Structure 1
Amino acid sequence: MIAVLAATAVGLLSAFLPFTPAEPYLMAAVATTGTPPVALGVAAAAGQTTGKLLIFLGTRGAIRSPWLRRRLTRHTPGTPRPPGRWGTMLAGPKAAGARLVEVMERPRQATGMLLVSAVTGFPPLLATSVYLGRTPLRPVAFAATCLLGRTIRFVAIALMPRLAGY
């Protein structure tokens, strides 16, 4: 029971601090305790989903705050420099980053991208959570998709020590 609570806490902490990943904890907990890997994986996923939902909602609230809106709409003096050869190539309409942003603007596609991010870690789930906070994606859909993806990832990782014979 303590290992499951610790997995939830590690998941929550790792949602905010990417340099404290939950994956090594899960593998060590499975290898050193008798706790079922699925329970540890689900607990870590629940903790991390809670943290990512707070980030998602915080971003949404921050974008709607009058203080931030005033800062973002300020006119900055001077004209921007031209992007140069590489900047023009990377910023073109065919750039992968531009396509990814376009996909994430639509709620259905954003849900699929969130699931991919939650399972694979690419694009990073922290960045995806912040970005999706400014889209029309509903918080319930965000939480459910994030929980599903993180559960798949963390249960698979938690099962690895058992599959390796530890």
Structure 2
Amino acid sequence: MLSWLSIMSAAFGVSVLSAVLPLISIELFIVALMLNKPETSWWQLALVVASGQILGKLLYYFVGRGTVGLPKFLHREKKPSGRWARRLDGFRSACHDRPVWTTGVLLTSSFVSLPPFVAVSVVAGVARVPLRLFIATGLAGRFVRFSLVASVPGVLGAWWF
């Protein structure tokens, strides 16, 4: 019999791994876990998984910010200049001048994954979005998303059976 701590630890580990390697589907893991262990608290699982996802996405955020270095083969030979540098500066200032828009994009992406949250994590780092805003919006959106995913097996099971 698996204990609550071992279930949550496994969920946290898989969520961090799926945040770093987007080919791993945390949603499928959550559904499988809830079908196998229906007594698991959906909101606790959603909170643990959302926390692990944000921890993993922080790697992308810090790569975009330039704090975490990339392997040598992924480095550009020169910094963006000219038109691209102006666009990047314009995007940074738009993010800082329109915090409601920035918050909306972060919340939408973390909840719906459109645009993909992994890409938005990098862009948020590049745009120098405040770390507190990135974490707060990411946690909120991911918690709601995974709450819905975790509760679906129980709701459908009660509805059909």
Q: Does TM, scored on the shorter chain, surpass 0.5?
A: yes
Cα pair 1:53 1:139 within 8 Å, conserved: no
Correspondences of 1:96-107 after superposition (within 5 Å): 105-107=94-96
Instruction: Please state how far the C-alpha of 1:26 moved relative to its aligned partner.
Output: 0.5
Find the partner of 1:36 among 37, 41, 44: 41
Residue aligning to 1:110: 102
- 2:133 corresponds to: 141
Match of 2:79 in 1: 72
Q: How far apart, CA to CA, are the structure 1 residues paired with 2:115 and 2:93? A: 11
CA shift, 1:62, in A, is: 5.3
Q: Which residue of 2 aligns with 1:27?
A: 31
Q: Which has the larger radius of gyration?
A: 1
Q: Which residue of 1 aligns with 2:156?
A: 164
Q: SS where residue 126 of structure 2 aligns?
A: coil
Q: Where in structure 1 are there 5+ consecutive unaligned residues? A: 76-97
Gaps of 5+ in 2: none
Q: Percent identity?
A: 31
1:36 corresponds to which letter in structure 2?
A: S
Partner residue in 2 for 1:4: 8
Q: Which residue type is aligned with residue 95 of structure 2? A: R
* C-alpha distance in structure 2 between counterparts of 1:104 and 1:26, whole Å: 38
Query: Match of 1:150?
Result: 142
Structure 1 stretches (4+) deviating beyond 4 angstroms? Answer: 62-65, 67-70, 101-104
Shift of 1:135: 1.0
* TM-score, scaled to structure 1: 0.74
Match of 2:51 among 42, 46, 67: 46
Residue 54 of structure 1 and its aligned partner are, at CA, apart by 2.2
Counterpart of 1:61 in structure 2 is 66
Could you report, residue by residue, the CA deviation over 1:99-128 in whole angstroms, capped at 9, with x for unpaired residues?
Answer: xx9599414122210100000010000000
* Rounded Cα–Cα distance in structure 2 between residues aligned with 1:151 and 1:104: 29
* Cα drift, residue 20 of structure 1: 0.2
Deviates more, 1:53-62 or 1:117-126: 53-62
Aligned amino acid, residue 7 of structure 1: A
CA distance in 2, matches of 1:4, 1:21: 17
Letter in structure 1 aligned against 2:11: A
TM-score (norm 2): 0.77
Amino acid at match of 1:116: T
Report the alpha carbon displacement of residue 53 of structure 1 after superposing the two structures with TM: 1.6
